Amino acid sequence: MVQSVAFIGLGAMGYRMASHLPKHFDTVYVWNRNMDKAKQHAATYGTQAVDLTQAVQADIIFSCLPTSADVEHLINSVQLKSGSIWVDCTSGVPDSARKLATQLKTENIDFLDAPVSGQTIGADNATLTVMVGGDQAAFERALPAIQAFGKLIKHVGTSGAGFAVKAVNNMLLAVNLWSVAEGFTTLKAHGVNLTEAMDCINASSGKSGVTETVLPQRILNRSFPVTFGLPLLAKDTGIALDLVRDANLPAPVIALVQSLIQAASLTAEENSDFSAAIKMYESWSKITLE
């Protein structure tokens, strides 16, 4: 019986995901490194801003931090409660999930890797896709809590499987983003109206999440709203490339796009959205996508 839940890491995603928990649970602890955000969350949504020691005493503990290294560091700095489940919504590293699941099992604690997709708007609307790896019984126990912010929720395999699906998803996002930059720049160089071209492509076989949402909502209107940082996309493509290498597979496209996104991340202005990766191609071509 789940009596209490906690959410650790109130960033762009976590702040919004945690806002739905009080609709389903009486006791919702929140903790953030910068505690002002936790206090603001508590005042706005009726959660309880507590210290980390108390947060990790919940029956289900969610985390959503930048990297698996951050999560490992946190877990290794606290004493968890036997019988609890740690549900990590970070876009993390599969090997780290396996390590943490094995380590925590010795303390009778389950660790699920449960990264999310759907961006901040999906977190606002509780319509995130959640891909979960780990023990099936723990997944079933955690499912009602995950449903607070998730819409499509899938148990995709053993520990690490959720992180692997997320890394490949974001690699596909990156490949689409880069190919849209090249393709639409080519169209502009040939004098084609980009909005009309986009409408045609979005009713054709070349469409993708990038042409349907990122291109109109972030690139062509030059807004590049910072909701998913470019360094986070670079991190995810790196995880995907590591997975390919671990499997001894050839992946020329993934390797190239990972390098391009990494370069874009290193050369972009600080605090850039992932969609701003296309600006590197714009600087090469001297053509702006607008």
Q: Check binding of 33 to ligand NDP (CB under 6 A).
A: yes
CB 134 within 8 A of CB 159: yes
Task: Name the active-site residue from 81, 105, 151, 166.
Answer: 166
CB 155 within 8 A of CB 183: no
Shortest CB 285 distance to ligand NDP, Å: 27
Q: Check binding of 39 to ligand NDP (CB under 6 A).
A: no
Q: Is 37 a catalytic residue?
A: no
Total site size for ligand NDP, rule CB under 6 A? 25
Shortest CB 180 distance to ligand NDP, Å: 18
Shortest CB 280 distance to ligand NDP, Å: 20
Cβ closest to ligand NDP, residue 25 vs residue 228: 228
CA distance 236 to 167: 5
27-32: long-range pairs with CB below 8 Å, 24+:
27/3, 27/58, 28/4, 29/4, 29/5, 29/54, 29/55, 29/58, 30/6, 30/55, 31/6, 31/7, 31/55, 32/8
Q: Check binding of 13 to ligand NDP (CB under 6 A).
A: yes
Q: Check binding of 232 to ligand NDP (CB under 6 A).
A: yes
- By CB under 6 A, the residues from 157 to 196 that bind ligand NDP are none
Q: Determine the interface stretch with ligand NDP among 26-34, 40-48, 201-209, 247-255 (rule: CB under 6 A).
A: 26-34
For ligand NDP, what does the binding mask look like between residues 44 and 73, x meaning CB under 6 A? --------------------xxx---x---
Shortest CB 192 distance to ligand NDP, Å: 30
Shortest CB 84 distance to ligand NDP, Å: 19
For ligand NDP, what does the binding mask look like between residues 90 and 119, x meaning CB under 6 A? xx------------------------xx-x
Residue 261 to residues 15, 171, 186, 254, 270: CA-CA distances in angstroms?
27, 10, 20, 10, 15
For ligand NDP, what does the binding mask look like between residues 119 and 158, x meaning CB under 6 A? xx--------------------------------------
Structure tokens at 33: 């490194």
CA distance 200 to 254: 27
Q: Determine the interface stretch with ligand NDP among 30-38, 139-147, 172-180, 182-190 (rule: CB under 6 A).
A: 30-38
Residues forming the active site: 166
Residue ranges binding ligand NDP (CB under 6 A): 9-14, 32-34, 37, 64-66, 70, 74, 90-91, 116-117, 119-120, 227-229, 232
